[in-house]
Structure 1
């Protein structure tokens, strides 16, 4: 028996670009979110965000939330995305409040409001009209009084009661209960 040394060489195909073609960088994911045309694709991109451990990137989550508000027929998915954002910005909360005030369950806007207050997110003049619309539609008088009082305290209810955006919603709230207050 002759003993011949065996040498094996594994021939791998040569790739000019050894990096994968489907990189999951924040830039590529942001681009994918921007080009999402339907909810199914949006959820696939969301899965890639989770898989690549970029789910703490507020800019990606903000874009995901804005896209989900546009593409989702209900607000369950956008709310779940919103709950993943560590400290949401006021303008993002306002957009969500506006959508929630129009939906079948306007009381969900109060959950966003409570979170804003709990986490110290500033309310601005655009926060109050959808909040008051939501409490009016949800027949939540106590919450409406609290929110109107806060708007007044922060100086966002400076015009006549029924002429500005906040005041119009307050009038609807009071009228819904058969009350028409004369003066604040």
Structure 2
């Protein structure tokens, strides 16, 4: 015997369905009707519709998560990475700028040292030539005095010996020393351009 409402098999002689509680009529010895069969199909439709609704909710939540949480978080990560990249770029540019300034200062210092050495060399050569020239004049004056010329005549011929470092030198010798100084200065400017 089957229940007319739920279609489940029940004991013969039962007055109520033990599954759904429906009152059983005495004429229920036949197979379940089509409405009972449809009721089983109806339950299956409910399951499918419920599954589809749950699937739709899961998909909707996934899409919402993607657009509301994932993308903004990803964008914030990209923005943060861009900030870090920009900071590193600015830091590198600042280091390069400092390095260039330091190199410029070093070149300026080296140029000044080079020019100072050229000037010192010039002064040393000038002073050495002053001493050498004063020695020649003194020797010439001594030779002149041994001859029959007077001291004033010898001085007018030879001049006065001047061994100071800033003496007057013959024009061709002074020009040669000046040219050497200018050549050394040019080499300094070529070696340490500004």
Q: Which has the higher helix share?
A: 2
* Structure index of larger Rg: 2
Higher RCO (CA 8 Å, separation ≥ 6 residues): 2
Asked if TM exceeds 0.5, the reply is no
TM-score, length basis structure 2: 0.16
